[in-house]
Amino acid sequence: MLRLFAALAVPEDVALALSARQRDLEGARWRPLEALHITLRFFGEIPENQADDLNAELGCVTGRPLEIQLEGVGAFGEGRDIHAVWAGVAENAALRQLAGRCEAAARRAGLAPDRRNYRPHVTLAYLSRPEPAAVAAWIQTHNLLKSPPFFVASFGLYSSRKGSSGPAYELERDYPLV
């Protein structure tokens, strides 16, 4: 079984700017620069033969290079159940279209539909039962985040392996946007 997802890599200069915000939140497990990405579709754990089918379907996904801009911050969960803080992505029709094409590729490969609403973001840290007021203060401090626009000319299929400080990711395949 492979744990897979499709994502856009965050350029190093943008990741470095995000890393400057990765502080002042007790108990946060901050994500390393190489783990910062924008997920297009999380596929979960799938058998290798289905991963081959998924790879073939993702290879058929078309789209043009995208201009992306990060904007704002937030958290997933509520109260003591907040489990992550993130940097948001400014509304982007082309990004939503690409995520939809990755969803369609997953269905053609036999995967169940993703029932969650797509909310593009970059996970900055995972949290475990944080103090809600501390998370709110961190969000208030960083809520004006706005990156310069950046271009993305490909998306990738990544594998995820659980580690002590959070998941470790490996690029399995890169798909160009032309």
Whether this model's pTM surpasses 0.75: yes
- Give domain limits for the chain: 2-176
Q: pLDDT tens digit string along 23-64?
A: 999 999 999 999 999 999 999 999 999 999 999 999 999 999
Per-residue confidence at 167, pLDDT binned at 50, 70, 90? confident
Read off the pLDDT of residues 99-149 as tens digits, 9 standing for 90 and up: 999 999 999 999 999 999 999 999 999 999 999 999 999 999 999 999 999
Q: How confident is the model over 52-79, as a mean pLDDT?
A: 97
**The domain over range 2-176 is classified in CATH as 3.90.1140.10:** yes
How far apart CA 131 and CA 120 sit, in angstroms, is 25
